[in-house]
Amino acid sequence: MRIRKKKHLAERLDGVREVLLVAMRDIPNVKLANLDKRYIDFKELFLNEYPVNLEIGCGKAGFILECAKRNSKENYLAVELLENIIVMGAEKCLKEQVKNVRFFNCGAEYLPRYIKPNSISKIFLNFSPPYPAGTYENRRLTKTELVLDYKDYLIDGGEVLQKTDDKDFFEYSYNQFEKNGFIVKDISSDIESGKIENIQTEYEKKFRKLNMPIYVLSAKVNKE
Ligand SMILES: C[S@@+](CC[C@H](N)C(=O)[O-])C[C@H]1O[C@@H](n2cnc3c(N)ncnc32)[C@H](O)[C@@H]1O
């Protein structure tokens, strides 16, 4: 039974190859992978020079597909660790004929292999697993090593936008960005008041239904 399920997933992943640029099963361990650069030429990929944005931990990709539909003059890269989840987003992308999104099935740690420095305008971190501080902190998507990677990918003036329901994780991330030279702002109230456009993610919809507070930050990079 389990074997049949896996086989079915492999077929579905093959079916989305057109939009799936990186597949977890095709890459070696992270240290070897990041030494062997395979930078992606975005102009060649999207056939335009529009800004490129990145979401890490896209889940079923509802957020990024909506961003892409609303902003046809921007391009989007969606990164997700779990292949059974990313396949759903990639299938939706093909079904709805969204042309400005591509998917990476890998962990955030592998991205230095594919993303050139100074090439990304915005990075979205939406409801990344908060993992408790201490033992599991090393898995957080705002640990120092990754924050420095984000700084590297972003163009001058580029920005990380992070949403979470976890106050401790929000405060940790805020400090991490500030400590590493970003200009950080808590924009939670601007999102609530509608001053800044908000596209709700799958997790966000669930949390909002439960009236849970949502914390949002903007971390801008100044490279001059
Ligand atoms: C709680 S879900 C949120 C999904 C979506 N962003 C949303 O808001 O509905 C977090 C997602 O991040 C992914 N994730 C966690 N760590 C990751 C990593 N290191 N690299 C890429 N994706 C990761 C998980 O597999 C999961 O799908």
pLDDT digits (tens, 9 = 90+) for 179-224: 999 999 999 999 999 999 999 999 999 999 999 999 999 999 988 7
Q: Strand order of the sheet with strand 75-79?
A: 20-22, 101-104, 75-79, 52-56, 120-126, 154-164, 215-221, 182-186
- Ligand 1 atom with minimal separation from the 58 CA: 6
We report the CATH number of the domain holding residue 65 as 3.40.50.150
Q: From the CA of 73, how far away is ligand 1's center (Å)? A: 26
Q: From the CA of 188, how far away is ligand 1's center (Å)? A: 21
- pLDDT value at residue 144: 97
Q: Is 114 helix (H, G, I), strand (E, B) or coil?
A: coil
| 204-210 contact pairs (CB < 8 A, 24+) | 204/126, 204/127, 204/163, 207/127, 207/165
Q: Determine which residue's CA is closest to atom 23 belonging to ligand 1.
A: 57
Task: Tell me the Cα Rg of the chain.
Answer: 17
The ranges of the chain with pLDDT < 50 are: 1-3
- pLDDT value at residue 4: 54
Q: From the CA of 82, how far away is ligand 1's center (Å)? A: 8
Q: From the CA of 40, how far away is ligand 1's center (Å)? A: 22
- pLDDT value at residue 25: 74
Domains held by the chain: number: 1
CB 108 within 8 A of CB 146: yes
- pLDDT value at residue 7: 64
Q: How many residues are present in the chain? A: 224
> The domain containing residue 217 runs over which residues?
2-221
Q: From the CA of 110, how far away is ligand 1's center (Å)? A: 15
Measured from CB, residues less than 6 Å from any atom of ligand 1 are 56-59, 79-82, 85, 107-108, 126-129, 141, 201-204
The model carries a pTM of 0.96
From 34, 64, 67, 81, mutation site for ligand 1 pocket: most ligand atoms within 8 A of C-beta: 81
